[in-house]
C-alpha cells in the first residue's frame, strides 16, 4: 500500500486502445487511438543523490540506476524501459534529478493496450516534473518512442506513446503519424459502449513477427516507389495501389501486407467520419473489415483473437469487433449496446473458453486524459 504523503508527486500516463488503424502508424498512416483509465502511475520523490531507485507495487524487484551510467541497463529485467527513457531524456538535454520511483501499473502486460508506452511516458513525465519543467506531451511521446526503439529494441511507430501522452477524456485522437497533426474526435456512441476483451495469450513484440511485418512494408514501399512518386504507403488510395501492385508480385506476401496498409488507411478515414456522425452501424462494419484484413492479409491475429472477435461479432448486441494492438495475442475492442453488455461478456466468454480451453478477461475502463500530474506534498 502506497502512503502518498511520503511522495512529492503522483504522475500517471494512460494505456491505449486503438479503435482502428492497425499496423499503419509506421507506414505514415492515420490512426484513431484513445487513452484509457488503465494507467501506469509513478509515485516519485527527490532523494538528494545521483541515483534513481526503482520499485514496483506488483513485483518484489528493486533496481538502482546510476544517473551517470543510464545507457548501461538495457539487459536489466523490469528496469530497461524506465532506464531507457531516463537515458534518452538525458541525451535530449534534460536534467535528471536523483529520485525514488514506485511504479503501479494497471495496464495488463502483454495485452496490446500499450503498457510499455504508459511506463515510458509516465517515467519521462515524472522526471520532467521533478526537474521543474513544463511538460510538452509531444516531446515526451517522441523521446519515449525513441527509447523503445533504440533501447528496448522494438521498431515501433509513434501511435502508442502519442496516445499515452496526448489522450483526451471522452475523445479519440485522429493522428497523422507522418506529420503528427492531430484532431480530437468525440466518441459519440449513443446507446453503445466500448468493451475490451483480452484473449489471455501471452505475447511479446520483440519475440513476435512485428519487426518482420515492418520490414515487409518497407520493402513494399521501395518497390512501389519505382511506379509512383510516394514517400509512404499511406499516400496511396486503394484504386491507385491496385493499378501498380503488380510490381510486388514475386516477393512473397509483400503485396498482401501493403494492400492491408492502404485499405486500412482508407478505413480510418471513413471511421472518423462515421464517429463524427454518430453512425455506429457503419463504424462497426469498418471494425469487422479491419479484423478480416489483419487476419487474412497481414496475418497477425491467430486462433485466439479470431475466436474472440468472431464470438463478439456474432452477438446481437455487438455492432462490430476487431483485434487491437500489434496482434499475436492481446485484446479485441468491440462496440456493444449498453443494455447487452452483461450477456455479451457471458456469451463471448463461453464460446471462447469452449474452443480455446481457458477464459478471456474483460476490462471495464473509460476514455481519459493521457498524462495526469498530482502534487502530493
CA distance 300 to 359: 21
Check 25, 100, 160, 306 and give the catalytic one: 160
CA distance 238 to 144: 33
Q: Which three cell numbers stand for residue 146?
A: 525513441
Closest C-alpha among 351, 363, 291 to residue 320: 291
For the purposes of burial, counting CB atoms within 10 Å of the CB of 222, is it exposed (0-12), middle (13-18) or buried (19 or more)? exposed
Across the beta sheet with 372-375, the strand order is: 62-66, 51-56, 99-105, 33-46, 9-18, 372-375
Q: 224 near 258, Cβ under 8 Å?
A: yes
Q: How far is CA 30 from the centre of its chain?
A: 14
Sign of the CA dihedral running 300, 368, 32, 104 = negative
CA distance 109 to 115: 6
Q: Which three cell numbers stand for residue 152?
A: 528496448
Degrees, nearest 5: CA angle 318-364-3:
170
Degrees, nearest 5: CA angle 340-35-151:
135
Q: 97 near 330, Cβ under 8 Å?
A: no
Q: Which three cell numbers stand for residue 223?
A: 518497390
Q: 301 near 291, Cβ under 8 Å?
A: yes
Active site residue 104: no
Measured between its terminal Cα atoms, the distance across the chain in Å is 18
Which ranges of the chain does DSSP label H, i.e. alpha helix? 80-91, 115-130, 137-150, 159-166, 210-224, 238-244, 254-277, 280-296, 303-314, 341-356
User: What are the distances in angstroms from CA 29 to CA 23, 139, 271?
Assistant: 9, 20, 14
> Which residues are marked as active site?
160
Amino acid at each position: 500500500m502506497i502512503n502518498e504523503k511520503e511522495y512529492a508527486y503522483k504522475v500517471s500516463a494512460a494505456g491505449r486502445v486503438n479503435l482502428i488503424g492497425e499496423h499503419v502508424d509506421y507506414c505514415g498512416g492515420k490512426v484513431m487511438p484513445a487513452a484509457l483509465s488503465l494507467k501506469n502511475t509513478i509515485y516519485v520523490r527527490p532523494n538528494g543523490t545521483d541515483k534513481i531507485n526503482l520499485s514496483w507495487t506488483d513485483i518484489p524487484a528493486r533496481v538502482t540506476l546510476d544517473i551517470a551510467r543510464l545507457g548501461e541497463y538495457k539487459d536489466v529485467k523490469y528496469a530497461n524501459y524506465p532506464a531507457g527513457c531516463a537515458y534518452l531524456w538525458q541525451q535530449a538535454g534534460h536534467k535528471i534529478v536523483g529520485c525514488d520511483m514506485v511504479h503501479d501499473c494497471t495496464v495488463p502486460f502483454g495485452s496490446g493496450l500499450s503498457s510499455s508506452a504508459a511506463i515510458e511516458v509516465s517515467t519521462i513525465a515524472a522526471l520532467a516534473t521533478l526537474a521543474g519543467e513544463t511538460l510538452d506531451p509531444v516531446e515526451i511521446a517522441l523521446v519515449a518512442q525513441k527509447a523503445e526503439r533504440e533501447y528496448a529494441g522494438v521498431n515501433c511507430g509513434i501511435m502508442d506513446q502519442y496516445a499515452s501522452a496526448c489522450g483526451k477524456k471522452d475523445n479519440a485522437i485522429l493522428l497523422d503519424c507522418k506529420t503528427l497533426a492531430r484532431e480530437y474526435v468525440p466518441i459519440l456512441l449513443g446507446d453503445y459502449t466500448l468493451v475490451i476483451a483480452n484473449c489471455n495469450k501471452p505475447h511479446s513484440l520483440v519475440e513476435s513477427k512485428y519487426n518482420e511485418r515492418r520490414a515487409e512494408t518497407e520493402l513494399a514501399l521501395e518497390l512501389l516507389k519505382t511506379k509512383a512518386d510516394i514517400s509512404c504507403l499511406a499516400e496511396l488510395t486503394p484504386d491507385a495501389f491496385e493499378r501498380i501492385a503488380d510490381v510486388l508480385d514475386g516477393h512473397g506476401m509483400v503485396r498482401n501486407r501493403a494492400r492491408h496498409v492502404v485499405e486500412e488507411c482508407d478505413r480510418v478515414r471513413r471511421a472518423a467520419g462515421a464517429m463524427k456522425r454518430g453512425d455506429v452501424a457503419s463504424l462497426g462494419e469498418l471494425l469487422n473489415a479491419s479484423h478480416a484484413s489483419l487476419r487474412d492479409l497481414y496475418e497477425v491475429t491467430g486462433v485466439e483473437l479470431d475466436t474472440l472477435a468472431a464470438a463478439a461479432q456474432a452477438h446481437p448486441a455487438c455492432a462490430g469487433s476487431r483485434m487491437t494492438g500489434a496482434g499475436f495475442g492481446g485484446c479485441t475492442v468491440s462496440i456493444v449496446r449498453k443494455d447487452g453488455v452483461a450477456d455479451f461478456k457471458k456469451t463471448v466468454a463461453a464460446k471462447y473458453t469452449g474452443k480455446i480451453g481457458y477464459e478471456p478477461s474483460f476490462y471495464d475502463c473509460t476514455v481519459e486524459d493521457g498524462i495526469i500530474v498530482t502534487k502530493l506534498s
